[in-house]
């Protein structure tokens, strides 16, 4: 009988830990030991774990800084929502329709990865980061101009570039359904996401990424990260292996976006802004660049609190004017930050403290 090597044994142990964690959480939910707020954070936490692991494939394993990862998540989210509405009569079973919608989201995320990766991966360093940042913002603005509906005649799509079009301009029959309403996003979506589906997606993501990293393609990707010139000199096709890592990362982000989108009855494109990309990048940096299990832990521990802090963003908040009675100026403190640098083909991070404001 062939003995398991150390990597395989460690992998099975780590997978077992994830399965045990899922079982413990499911038991707590079934026994009513978990509050509704914590239960509502389970699916977003799974989505953030997948996002962090997939981004670590690009940033940590490939060594390229991407600042537009939320754009792929956005593509997957709205593609998955659209697929779910279109397949409502053809696939009435919710879990099966969710799985198909996640596959559609992954396909659209991969398509976005191809569109961005072909011209962009020829760039390096800061130039790649700037272009991916622009991609994420462009996707957000395009979805803000997108009107999508469906009826018995099929799918109706229009771009509201002028800002004068409405859902009525799609020409749907009276029984038609509006799916995406421009800046309002997708509203009235049937919530299909579940913690079980999120757990399965997390496990699939870990299996795909870890097996890719340990494969011949993964070793080629890490060789490109360590020294691009040396990798080219021994015949490694740099563009090919960069595309493999980048498209895989984008597809997983699209699947996570579809799961995330089908967890809420309404979702706007503004959710997937630059701040979301930076939030996921923080999980990657704190978990360790190239450390897949570190990304899982960082996203699991910090994803819940981050979601709680972002909950008020979904509604309308009153902002006190400086002249209002009882208004106080915010108190500033020294906040430790992270500074990301490129050294010898690798991305490194270091602590950076912001200067204190001058005394009043």
Q: Which of 68-77, 186-195, 264-273, 316-325 has the lowest mean pLDDT?
A: 316-325
Convert the pLDDT of each residue in 243-260 to its tens digit.
999 999 999 999 999 999
Closest C-alpha among 337, 300, 352 to residue 43: 300
Place of tokens 């090919």: 240
Residue 3: its pLDDT value, please? 54
Distance CA 10, CA 7 (A): 5
Q: How many CA atoms lie within 13 A of 214 on its CB side?
A: 14
Residue 338: its pLDDT value, please? 47
Place of tokens 């799974």: 46
pLDDT tier at 327, thresholds 50, 70, 90: very low
Angle in degrees, 0-180, between the axes of helices 238-261 and 216-226, rounded to the nearest 10: 110
Closest C-alpha among 233, 236, 208, 235 to residue 222: 236
Residue 158 has pLDDT above 90, yes or no: no
Residue 340 has pLDDT above 80, yes or no: no
Q: What are phi and psi of 238, to 5 degrees?
A: -65, -45
Convert the pLDDT of each residue in 79-136 to its tens digit.
999 999 988 888 889 899 999 999 999 999 999 999 988 888 777 777 888 888 998 8
Residue 182: its pLDDT value, please? 84
- Domains, the chain, in order of start with CATH, read 44-305 (1.10.3470)
Residue 56: its pLDDT value, please? 94
Percent of the residues in the chain that have a pLDDT greater than 90, as a whole number: 31
């Amino acid at each position: 009988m062939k003995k398991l090597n150390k990597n395989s044994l460690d992998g099975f142990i780590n997978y077992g830990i994830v399965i045990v964690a899922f079982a413990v959480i499911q038991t707590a939910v079934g026994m009513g030991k978990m509050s509704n707020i914590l239960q509502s954070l389970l699916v977003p936490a799974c989505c953030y774990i997948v996002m962090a692991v997939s981004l670590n494939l690009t940033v940590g394993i490939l060594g390229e800084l991407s600042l537009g990862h939320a754009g792929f998540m956005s593509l997957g989210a709205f593609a998955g929502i659209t697929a779910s509405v279109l397949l409502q009569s053809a696939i009435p079973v919710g879990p099966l329709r969710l799985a198909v919608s996640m596959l559609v989201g992954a396909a659209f995320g991969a398509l976005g990865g191809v569109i961005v990766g072909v011209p962009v991966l020829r760039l390096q360093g800061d130039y790649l980061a700037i272009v991916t940042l622009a991609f994420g913002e462009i996707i957000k603005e395009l979805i803000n101009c997108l009107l999508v509906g469906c009826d018995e005649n099929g799918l109706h799509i229009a771009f509201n570039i002028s800002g004068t079009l409405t859902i009525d301009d799609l020409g749907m029959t009276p029984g038609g359904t509006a799916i995406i309403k421009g800046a309002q996003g997708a509203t009235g979506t049937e919530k299909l996401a579940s913690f079980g589906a999120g757990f399965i997606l997390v496990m699939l993501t870990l299996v795909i990424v870890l097996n890719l990293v340990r494969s011949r393609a993964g070793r080629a990707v890490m060789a490109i990260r360590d020294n691009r010139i040396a990798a080219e000199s021994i015949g490694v096709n740099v563009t090919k292996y960069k595309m493999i890592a980048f498209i895989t990362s984008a597809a997983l982000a699209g699947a996570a976006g579809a799961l995330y989108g089908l967890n809420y009855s309404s979702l706007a494109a503004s959710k997937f802004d630059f701040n979301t990309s930076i939030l996921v990048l923080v999980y990657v940096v704190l978990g360790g660049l190239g450390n897949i299990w570190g990304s899982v832990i960082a996203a699991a521990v910090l994803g819940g609190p981050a979601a709680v802090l972002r909950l008020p963003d979904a509604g309308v908040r009153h902002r006190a004017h400086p002249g209002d009675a009882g208004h106080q100026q915010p108190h500033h403190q020294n906040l430790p930050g992270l500074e990301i640098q490129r050294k010898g083909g690798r991305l490194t991070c270091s602590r950076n403290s912001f200067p204190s404001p001058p005394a009043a």
